[in-house]
Structure 1
Amino acid sequence: MTAALEVHGLRKRFGGVRAVDDVGFTLAIGEMLALIGPNGAGKSTCFNMLTGQVRPDTGAIRLFGRDIAGLPPRRIWRLGVGRTFQVTATFGSMTVAENVQVALMSHHRRLRWPWPRADRLDAGPARDLLALVGMADQAERGCGLLAYGDLKRLELAIALANDPRVLLMDEPTAGMAPRERAALMDLTARIVAERGLSVLFTEHDMDVVFGHADRVLVLDRGRLVAEGTPDEVRADARVRAVYLGDRPPSEAGP
């Protein structure tokens, strides 16, 4: 299995707290890999080390064989890693198309070019990306007027602007209605298949996880406690205990 991303011995402490403790895994090309765990398990810290927001204490992060651990976010982005965020990060005063154009201009290093009409730059590619996520008909709409589900699709288009080989999605369906969640993840799966992307995503909705992930990683208190197919993880007794709430009566509390 060819690896898009390899993580070995990843560790991060905050004072006396081991937020991530000796985590390692592999993300294959074309794979959708879910990272789950209870609140405080270390998912966000792990995610932020992969994208450069947090520097690991120790460990290796290899993107197609190149160690990227400790590189700043912009460098990692330029090496082909896209990211979406749990809370959408868009420019509400711009149109939908302009939001994507800004990302494309940054990717092509055009943000500081002395062009009098920047709104014309990358207009065609921006509309292509919007068509890819089903938002071509909303290109000229103000971003601040979008429904939340449409904001999530717009953010996906923005994350694809740097033509990534690896896409990291932090709680992609947070705040969405059940039908919107399934539609967004179906769209993501289609794009993965068409472009040969590799996706790592965190998620609290178990229907999304078990319905769309090829494999699942489970973190608890900073350590990787289980991994496997959705069926294998669903049947794992320790996963049920630490994450799905199926604890023995002596541990369940009042």
Structure 2
Amino acid sequence: MSIVLETQGLSKSFGAIKAVSDVSFALHKGELLAMIGPNGAGKSTCFNMLMGQLKPTAGTVWLNGQDLAGLGPRQIWRMGVGRTFQITGTYASMTVAENVQMALISHHRRVFSILPYAHRLYRDRALDLLNLVGMADQADRHCAVLAYGDLKRLELAIALAHEPSLLLMDEPTAGMAPRERIALMQLTADIVRDRGVSVLFTEHDMDVVFAHAHRVMVLNRGQLIADGTVDQIRNDPRVQEVYLGGGTLFHAAEEGQHA
């Protein structure tokens, strides 16, 4: 299986504070990889280095074999990396379809020729993406009136607009109701399976992680302390100690029976 994303010795310091220290991992094509850890573990710092918002103090990042050193977020996006954020960033004054159309216009490099007919550009493709995430019936609603779960699904459609090989999802289910969380991550798992997209996501909800991740990495104080299957992580004594205070990780399916 081909490697889509790989890091070696990835590190980031802010003065004397080591936010991330010597993190190395590989993400394969069509893999759904969870990155978990307590608050302050370095997850967001890792994401920001992968996407070019932060420059690593040390280490390397490769995307499909290409070195990302020195590249900014837009250049990395152009290379096939999509991202969703913990706090959604859609245009509230635009319709659902228009938000996706804007992403498609950028993807096709039409940003300097969009007026006055931007509302007609790539609408059919936008509707296809909205149908993929279950939002086609809300295409002409303004984002300002959408429920938060719907905004999360819209953000996923926007991230898919430039057909990424890698999708970074930072707390994708934050602020969502339990049923919405399950639906969104099942949708993401289906996209991984059907399109071969690789996904790296951070998440605090262990139900979500254990139900959908193919593999789990655990960070603590900026260091990678475990990397393995769901069962390996669930039963890892060190993970239980640093992440759950010595408690036992439960099985998502068992919890789901009581939802």
Shorter-chain TM-score bucket reads: over 0.9
Partner of 2:212: 212
Structure 1 portions without partners, runs of 5+ = 248-254
Corresponding letter in the other structure for 1:33: L
Partner of 2:97: 97
Question: Contact 1:59 / 1:69 at 8 angstroms: preserved in 2?
Answer: no
Question: Contact 1:97 / 1:140 at 8 angstroms: preserved in 2?
Answer: yes
Q: Following the alignment from structure 2 to structure 1, what is the Cα–Cα distance between the partners of residues 211 and 58?
A: 34
Corresponding letter in the other structure for 1:200: L
Residue 166 of structure 2 is aligned to residue 140 of structure 1: no
Alignment of 1:113-152 (within 5 A): 113=113, 115-152=115-152
Partner of 2:246: 246
Partner of 1:22: 22
Q: Which stretches of structure 1, 4 residues or more, deviate above 3 A after TM superposition?
A: none
Corresponding letter in the other structure for 1:52: G
**TM superposition score normalised by structure 2:** 0.94
Partner of 2:65: 65
Partner deviation per Cα, 1:177-206 (whole Å, 9 max, x = no partner): 111100000001111111100000000000
Shift of 1:63: 0.5
Question: Contact 1:42 / 1:221 at 8 angstroms: preserved in 2?
Answer: yes
Aligned residues: CA RMSD: 0.9
Partner of 1:231: 231
Sequence identity percentage: 68
Corresponding letter in the other structure for 1:19: A
Partner deviation per Cα, 1:88-121 (whole Å, 9 max, x = no partner): 0100000000000111101111111154211101
Corresponding letter in the other structure for 1:178: P
Q: Following the alignment from structure 1 to structure 2, what is the Cα–Cα distance between the partners of residues 33 and 153?
A: 19
Corresponding letter in the other structure for 1:106: S
Partner of 1:172: 172
Q: Following the alignment from structure 2 to structure 1, what is the Cα–Cα distance between the partners of residues 69 and 197?
A: 21
Partner of 2:195: 195
| Secondary structure of the structure 1 residue equivalent to 2:34 | strand
Q: Following the alignment from structure 1 to structure 2, what is the Cα–Cα distance between the partners of residues 138 and 23?
A: 41
Corresponding letter in the other structure for 1:213: A
> How many residues were matched structurally?
247
Shift of 1:46: 0.4
Q: Following the alignment from structure 2 to structure 1, what is the Cα–Cα distance between the partners of residues 134 and 103?
A: 18
Q: Following the alignment from structure 2 to structure 1, what is the Cα–Cα distance between the partners of residues 137 and 84?
A: 22
Residue 153 of structure 2 is aligned to residue 163 of structure 1: no
